[in-house]
Structure 1
Amino acid sequence: MDEEIFQGIADRSPFIAWIHNISLNQQKYMKQKFKNIDLGHDVRYIMYVYDNPDCSQDDLVSMFCQSKGNVAKILKKLEDKGFIERKTNPENRRKYMLNVTEKGSELVPEYRRISKQWESEVGITDFDEELKQRIREIAIKGMKLTQDN
């Protein structure tokens, strides 16, 4: 029995390959909708800062399992593009507090609206809350597994 293969994954592919495929295709869709803003996965940093005003670079390192150097490069790029700003933390002058700029504040609601549109177009509905919760649980367990090492 021949198995259909699409974008390099097949029925027998690991579960994570399907999740990765979903993520990549959602990013392609978003890139088409935001042609003038090429942020790729870095938009998640803007969204995190938007949802967590005055957060720190260390918060992003922990959240996204990235090195401090990698996060610093991404933040510099987002700052240069005018989406976030860094201010010295008055309680610890060696750390920065991160916040979105007006440009970042305008992007996030529009990005979420278009993302919700993508979910609808691929068939993710409000009735999928149980599935979403289960995937969140798996993601959290995965973070915890790597956090201890």
Structure 2
Amino acid sequence: MDYLNFEDERISFTPLIMYIDYIHLLQDDYYKKNYENITPRDVTYLMNIFYHENCSQKDLANLLYVSEANVAQIIKKLEKNGYISRVKDVNNKSRKIINLTNDGKILVFELLKNMYEWEGEFFKDYSAEDVEKFKKMLYDYSQKTIHSI
């Protein structure tokens, strides 16, 4: 009788989203232990504000597939903690433009440094080609997920 490796079978039959969720839980634990008042959700907002300068709450809601009310709640917290600023749009007084403050930029650079270090440690046993392929597959997975909703 052939030996069955149930660990390999479990890996094959576990949905990818479960592994992503587990990584997210570990990330959440890391932020709780190392940062005061920062959650993975906050990091998602900070990173999107970093990559999309001069965005509005509506822009963030569209980028993150959440309600503007949800954005308002997170933005209020980030502003209170000094990580972002909101100023009125000169072309549309009802719209506020969101950007990172200097403290917000420092935090984002620190977070990016930590992420790159973690990825470096995680991927140290993989070839550059495997890493690129993995990242491309995750990106494709995220895009297909977005477009299937």
TM-score bucket of the superposed structures, by smaller chain = 0.7 to 0.9
Counterpart position of 1:52: 52
Quote the residue 2:66 is aligned against.
Answer: 66
- With 49-58 and 114-123 compared, the bigger mean Cα shift is at 114-123
How many angstroms apart in 2 are the aligned matches of 1:27 and 1:103?
21
Residue 39 of structure 1, CA deviation: 2.9
Tell me, what secondary structure is at the counterpart of 2:54?
Answer: coil
Distance of 2:143 and 2:14 partners within structure 1: 22
Query: Mean alpha-carbon deviation: is it higher for 99-108 or for 136-145?
Result: 136-145
Name the CA shift for 1:118/1:29 in 2 (closer, same or farther; >3 Å). farther
2:31 touches 2:39 (CA, 8 Å); kept in 1? no
Letter in 2 for 1:97: I
1:106 Cα deviation after fit: 0.8
Q: Deviations over 1:28-58 (max 9, x none)?
A: 23443x3334333211111111222111111
1:134 to 126, 132, 137: 137
Greater Rg, structure 1 or structure 2? 2
Count of aligned pairs: 140
- Equivalent pair of 1:61/1:71 in contact (CA under 8 Å): yes
Any gaps of 5 or more consecutive residues in structure 1? 5-9
Relative to 1, partners in 2 of residues 1:121 and 1:37: Cα closer, same or farther, differing over 3 Å?
farther
- Give, in whole Å, the separation in 1 of the partners of 2:55 and 2:121: 33
| Unaligned segments of structure 2, at least 5 residues | none
Q: TM-score w.r.t. structure 2 length?
A: 0.82
Q: CA deviation at 1:3?
A: 4.7
SS at match of 2:93: strand
More relative contact order, 1 or 2 (CA 8 Å, 6+ apart): 1
Once the two structures are superposed, the pairs formed by residues 1-149 of structure 1 within 5 Å of their partners are: 3=6, 11=11, 12-32=13-33, 34-123=34-123, 126-127=128-129, 128-146=131-149
User: What RMSD over aligned residues (CA atoms) do the two structures have, in Å?
Assistant: 2.1
Q: Residue 2 of structure 1: CA displacement?
A: 8.4
SS at match of 1:88: strand
Structure holding more helix per residue: 2
